[in-house]
Amino acid sequence: MLMLTCPVCGVTAEETEFHAGGEAHLTRFGPGSSDDDFETYLFMRENPKGVHFERWRHVYGCGKWFHAARCTTTLEVFGTYSAQVTEPPKEILDAISEKRPGWTWRDLA
Amino acid sequence: MSKAVSALNGATWSDGIATISEVTLQGMITLRGDLSDPAIRSAATGVAAVDMPDQGQAQCTDDRGLCWMSPDELLVLCPYDEVAANIEKMQTALKGIHSLCFNVSDARAVFDLSGPNARDVLAKLVPVDLAPERFTKGMFRRTRMAQVPAAFWLHDTDHFRIICFRSQAQYVYDLLKTASACGSTVSYF
């Protein structure tokens, strides 16, 4: 069972109280961008076996978005953090490094 | 003016292991704004006449109270016929401050679930740890009740008060009746 802690309201609940919002930390390329950038933004997603960063929404609770770092194979959650950041905070990266030495995800390591 | 009635007109059921009754005409006001702002806090406590609840908590006595819904949302409970006056009072107090007060009394339904088995019955329906030492008086939880959103708190010992959307009142009532059917005692807590 996937258990997440909402960093906004502090509630720890199982997956069904939340809604998954896809991959985290995407850079949006909108009108005026190159076709390549736009295609990458629209379609190219990570599908890792292991460490992954995702957006989640506490849909049955406070209704707020947040970020989660978790392992896709064991459902272990390394941490959840604010939605208002463009990259994971250092303590989340440290927590992952401690449990999954040598991990990589896009340009993070 | 037409006569106001609650969603199930005060339906009550006590043929099972817990008593379920709809609370008729509870005044409810949604207050949105930055809850860390003292002006917003005092506007809410002024009309509800209770202390400001902390994160994830509710302060409720009888038909008055404040429920913490999210960092920018508070549910103000008050007698049904005082809602309009209270909204006006809050709007006056909050003039010029980014906020919203809205009467949701007729958009929600409120249920009481009581009896020695109330915890067991509710635990069948919500993904929340309801162990007596984990879910205590004063806590407020918005969650999922089977297939619909709901929020509840411990109004008194062995007495939960549940809020759901009005359009889902019949569903929630039937759900609670099913979960408290005769012979379905779990006695876990």
What does the pLDDT read at residue A109?
A: 82
Q: Which helix (H) or strand (E) holds B173?
A: helix B169-179
Amino acid sitting at position B131: A
Record: contact A60-B143, CB cut-off 8 A = yes
The burial of B159, by beta-carbon neighbours within 10 Å (0-12 exposed, 13-18 middle, 19 or more buried), is given as middle
Query: Which residue in B has a C-alpha nearest to residue A62's C-alpha?
Result: B70
| Residue of B139, B143, B162 for testing the chain A interface, max A β-carbons within 10 Å | B143
Classified as helix, coil or strand, B156 is strand
Residue A55 token pair: 């957006």
Record: contact A62-B69, CB cut-off 8 A = yes
Residue B94: φ, ψ to 5°: -105, 15
**Is the pLDDT reported for residue B2 higher than 90?**
no
B106-119 pLDDT tens trace? 999 999 999 999 99
Query: Which residue in B has a C-alpha nearest to residue A14's C-alpha?
Result: B127
Tell me the pairing of strands A12-14 and B58-61: unpaired
Query: What's the CATH code, domain B12-179?
Result: 3.30.1360.120
Superfamily in which the A1-26+48-109 domain is placed by CATH: Folate-binding superfamily (3.30.2270.10)
Taking each helix axis from N to C terminus, what angle separates B83-93 and B38-48, rounded to the nearest 10 degrees? 160
| Residue of B34, B36, B55, B163 for testing the chain A interface, max A β-carbons within 10 Å | B55
Cβ neighbours of B149 in A, within 8 Å: 60
Mean local confidence (pLDDT), B135-155: 95
Record: contact B70-A10, CB cut-off 8 A = no
Indicate the pTM of the whole model.
Answer: 0.90
Domain ranges of chain B: 12-179
> CB of B30 within 8 A of CB of B101?
yes
- Please report which residue ranges of A1-109 form alpha helices under DSSP H: 35-43, 90-99
A57-102 pLDDT tens trace? 999 999 999 999 999 999 999 999 999 999 999 999 999 999 999 9
Q: Which helix (H) or strand (E) holds B84?
A: helix B83-93
